[in-house]
Structure 1
């Protein structure tokens, strides 16, 4: 009996030593990471920057290959396949289409995603807690009810909210459905207009501008690319605008109470370290969300709408003027 106990202690010690050796070896390794970003706009750029900055601050030695598909689904697939053929250690898909392309290209290489609103309905994971494969990451699901409440806090007379969305993005359709569901119990009406590409935005805005009291900009790649156009049209008509995230406010939208995409990228960077250095299996890592939101106000837009800076809705906000 004593011999068996001693043997067990020796085996345990040897196992711990081996784990330690492997961990040290991994920390000294240079990891190849392929980053596939679906489009070029501030929110997605912030995710990438936060991811890269966090890996650097954590001391993870990386060789990063960055590719942007410029909103082309086919190109996103080609990029993912190239990363697989290059035998990268990890693929980071920024936005739903890039993440889906990565998942379709490999079931072996770890895949992280970010800037994905609903990874379950987008078929990236089975559930948020049990992802069921080599794919996990962070979601940018926004506190929609909190954001829609901002309209009536600014002006109780606001009853009709306009939303423009990309009909080819499943996440956008999900957000529109959620907004319609939430708005009913708030006494609001949501009117949504779908577009196929950025060239459809001006017509969509013009068709809606006289029929709504406010505009809500969701996390949609086409909408983000045309945020200046939307905010300019709304501001000219004196219409209150609320955005899903900070980049929208930087583009002229009045207000958001949402997440920071830079912080979301940093959080995903920490997950990458757990996979690459610590040897965690993505299958054992639940999808993560960013708990804290930040209220941001575009002061230039606020002045254009002749709103008082001391309104309670602006309390605790960060004011920017761009």
Structure 2
């Protein structure tokens, strides 16, 4: 009888031990899952208007910036291939998917996202004047669910380069897309600043990328130099534009560095890659630090740099000792 009781007792203790062990194991497993899920994975949607070096750099910089900041993100990337209705369709899809944040690259993409949702946080980049474009209320107090980084170039420094490269330059041509608000804003800015440097701006609008070669032929006859602004259609055709200008021995200045890689002579301006990284910091503020986009000021490029195309410089016969190249970094195509 005592042996039977002892056997039952031992059996009970053994079962209890197994159960406790199982509970501990489950608890440990549950804790591991909790610890792992504590680093929340966010779904970040990227809506890019078109595929060209500047906008691609803004995307790459944003993604690298998120990694550097330790933001655990699943990226849903969509490219509208330059078609504005497609940009609207993309934004509506992201809204239906209830993503955690939408990153838009270029003005039409930002406008499309703004029209699609008032709840999901939106960040933009490659937008020159978001107020003029109707995207938000002000740089300092955006209001609503959208903010971001402006690609407004240090235009005064860029126009000054014409004086330094060749003081005889008086008329500067600007090719721009007539359907892009971003571009018209830059043309007006250039007109306002040009007189400070004794320059006259000669703009020429284009509505179709196929018209650019002919428009360049016409514009070159009217000007002494060419200034390439941050324009999506211009960026898509930068190789053609640079070739036309260089074959006519025309001095060219760009708003940003990807144009210089494409053959334009020089810029003292922004890097879209760095602008993308800067926007990633804002994403962290919204997703991790729980700041509202409505209170985050729109930022301009914090990091600018002067770069020149050495091949173009040599083709034009300009001396490296020219003051315009001081502190500049050379790049080749």
Q: TM-score, normalised by structure 1?
A: 0.91
Q: Please, which of 50, 73, 76 is the counterpart of residue 39 of structure 1?
A: 50
Residue in structure 1 matched with residue 289 of structure 2 by the alignment: 278
Cα distance in 1 between the residues matched to 2:82 and 2:263: 23
- Shift of residue 270 of structure 1? 0.9
More displaced stretch, 280-289 vs 26-35:
26-35
**Is 1:141 equivalent to 2:152 in the alignment?**
yes
8 Å contact from structure 1 (residues 27, 60) kept in 2? no
SS at match of 2:87: helix
- How many pairs were matched up? 299
Task: Indicate the structure (1 or 2) with the bigger Cα radius of gyration.
Answer: 2
Residue matched to 1:104: 115
CA–CA separation in structure 2 for the residues paired with 1:241 and 1:26:
53
Kindly indicate whether residue 275 of structure 2 is the aligned counterpart of residue 267 of structure 1. no
How far does residue 209 in structure 1 lie from its aligned partner after superposition?
1.0
- Match among 320, 325, 331 for residue 314 of structure 1: 325
Change (3 A) 1:297 1:121: same
Match for residue 77 of structure 1? 88
Q: State the Cα distance separating 1:292 from its structure 2 match.
A: 3.1
Partner of 1:230: 241
Give the aligned partner of residue 20 of structure 1: none
- Structure 2 residue matching 1:97: 3-state secondary structure: helix
Q: Does 1:255 align with 2:282?
A: no
Q: Distance in 2 between matches of 1:145 and 1:290?
A: 15
TM-score by length of 2: 0.88
CA distance in 1, matches of 2:291, 2:233: 35
TM superposition outliers: structure 1 runs of 4+ over 3 Å = 24-27
**Distance in 1 of aligned mates of 2:222 and 2:201:** 11
- Secondary structure at the counterpart of residue 87 of structure 1: coil
Question: 2-side partners of 1:86 and 1:26: how far apart?
Answer: 21
Q: Provide the alpha-carbon RMSD of the alignment.
A: 1.2
Structure 2 distance, partners of 1:242, 1:301, is 11
Q: CA deviation at 1:27?
A: 5.9
Decide whether the 8 Å contact of 2:275 with 2:301 is kept in 1. yes
Q: Which runs of 5+ in 1 are unaligned?
A: 1-23
Structure 2: runs of 5+ lacking an equivalent: 1-34
**Deviation of 1:58 (Å):** 1.4
Report deviation, 1:211. Answer: 1.3
1:242 aligns with 2:253: yes
CA contact (8 A) 1:167 1:194 kept: yes
How many Å separate the matches in 2 of 1:27 and 1:43?
35
In 2 relative to 1, CA 236–27 (structure 1 residues): closer, same or farther, beyond 3 Å?
farther
Summarize the Cα distance change of 1:28–1:205 in structure 2 as closer, same or farther, 3 Å threshold: same
Partner of 2:222: 211
SS in 2 for 1:34: strand
Distance in 2, Cα, partners of 1:220 & 1:129: 25
SS in 2 for 1:199: helix
- Contact preservation (8 Å) 1:150, 1:242: yes
Say if 1:245 and 1:258, in contact at 8 Å, map to a contact too.
yes
Post-superposition offset of 1:25? 9.6
Q: State whether residues 26 and 276 of structure 1, in contact with CA within 8 Å, keep that contact through their aligned partners in structure 2.
A: no
